[in-house]
Structure 1
Amino acid sequence: MLVEEIMKTEVISLPPTASIAAAQLLLEENKIRHIPIVDDQQAVVGIVSDRDVRDATPSIFQADADRHELENEIQSIMSHPVVTIHPLDFVEDIARIFFDEEFAALPVVQNNKLVGMVTEKDMLYTLIQLTGTHVQSSHIELKVPHRPGILPEVTAIFGKRKTNIVSVLVYPFKDDPSFKILVFRIQTMNPAPVIRDLREAGYELMWPNNVMGSQS
């Protein structure tokens, strides 16, 4: 999946000379948490979060607070330089950036111009789609040998039952490189026949456990 498939293209931005008050108003009115700061050519020169604006806003509990601070230019509090991504980047790759850098939003840039925005909420929703949890389905986990050809062997069992596979995930089994875990979501509310077939084929089920799925 590519970034262009999940990014928001209607992005609210501000020039670096805009006031902090203007950013505060946009954040509140549009219920957003980040505003990219762009120059006259729509190149990203900074980014401002709702937290940046809150930190720059005088406390209402301070009698002598200087409200004129909100008239300062947004470039005085923006973060820069900015890590950006491209519309043709893979979602899996930028997920690593979100995790490693602990970002909450990333501007999407093409030809040095702002074209979109991806937030951590967008990433979470994409994960929900990739794992198939957004549709009604049954969950099956198998521990299998880590060898070529194992995935088509297992999916052939689903095929014999004409069971639709919603999603497949593969991840390591603890610290043992000789095994891996296959996670399936299948579109049936009665997975018992498939589970029985998998057990009869000699596969070890991590979920459901040995009690569940034993009925025909």
Structure 2
Amino acid sequence: MLVEEIMKKDVISLTPDDTIETALKLLNQHHIRHIPIVDETMVVIGIVSDRDVRDASPSVFEKKNNMGTLKNKLGAIMTQPVITVHPLDFAEETASIFYEHEIACVPVTRNDKLVGIITEKDMLYTLIQLTGTNVQSSQIEVKVLNKPGILPQVTQVLGKRKVNISSVLIYPYKPDSSYKIIVFRIQTMNPLPTIEDLKTEGYEVLWPQMPGMQP
């Protein structure tokens, strides 16, 4: 899945010369948490968050005497440089940027110019789509040898029942690196026949362990 498939294209942006007051109004009006800061050619040069704006605003106890602080320019509080991604980057790789840099928003740029934005909420929804949890399905976890060609062998077993596979995930089996876990989401509410097929072929099904089933 590409970034351009999940990014928001209607991005609210401001310039370094806009005021904290302007940013505060836009954040509240549009219920957003981040505003990219751009120059006159739409090149991203900074970003401000709701926390940046809140920290730079006077508290409720100081508003009468410090309302002038709201007239300060965003250039004084914006974060720079800004981590950005390209519309043709993979969403999965973008997720690692969120994790590694501990950020909650990434502007999307093409030729350095702002074309979109991705938030942590967008990434979470993308994860839901990639794992297939947004459709009615059953999850099966199979422990297999960590060797080339094992995935098509297992999916061939699932094919016997003509079940539709919503998603496939693979992760290491931590107790023994010579094995791995394949997680299937199949579009059926009765996975028992497929599970029995897997067991008949000698595969170890870790989940689900249904009543009456032998491990």
Q: TM-score range by the shorter chain?
A: over 0.9
Q: 1:208 and 1:143, CA in 2 relative to 1: closer, same or farther beyond 3 A?
A: same
- Provide the residue aligned with 1:174 in structure 2: 174
Alignment correspondent of 1:184: 184
RMSD (Å), alpha carbons: 1.3
What residue number does 2:82 align with?
82
Q: Cα distance, 1:5 vs. partner?
A: 0.8
User: TM-score under structure 2 normalisation?
Assistant: 0.96
Q: Give the match for residue 6 of structure 2.
A: 6
| Secondary structure at 1:176 match in 2 | coil
- Which residue of structure 2 aligns with residue 34 of structure 1? 34
Correspondence list, 1:54-133, <5 A? 54-62=54-62, 65-133=65-133
Query: In structure 2, what is the Cα distance between the partners aligned to 1:72 and 1:61?
Result: 19
Rounded Cα–Cα distance in structure 2 between residues aligned with 1:65 and 1:213: 73
- Aligned residue number for residue 148 of structure 2: 148
On the 8 A contact 1:109/1:116 being kept in 2, the answer is yes
Structure 2 residues not aligned, in runs of 5+: none
CA deviation after TM superposition for structure 1 residue 63, in Å: 6.8
Aligned length: 214
Gaps of 5+ in 1: none
1:162 maps to 162
Q: Who is 2:206 aligned against? A: 206
Contact 1:192 1:213 in 2 (8 A): no
1:196, 1:213 within 8 Å by CA — same for their partners in 2? no
Amino acid at match of 2:118: V
Structure 2 distance, partners of 1:64, 1:19, is: 18
The normalised TM-score by structure 1 is 0.96
Deviation of the 1:213 alpha carbon: 6.9
Identical aligned residues as a percent? 61
State the 4+ residue runs in structure 1 displaced beyond 6 angstroms.
none
Q: Which amino acid aligns with 1:173?
A: Y
Give, in angstroms, the shift of residue 175 of structure 1.
Answer: 4.8
Q: 1:87 to 1:133 in 2, by over 3 A?
A: same
Structure-2 separation of matches of 1:213 and 1:178: 29
- C-alpha change, 1:22 and 1:16, in structure 2 (3 Å) is same
Residue aligned with 1:35, SS: strand
Residue 126 and residue 63 in structure 1: after superposition, are their counterparts in 2 closer, same or farther (change >3 A)? closer
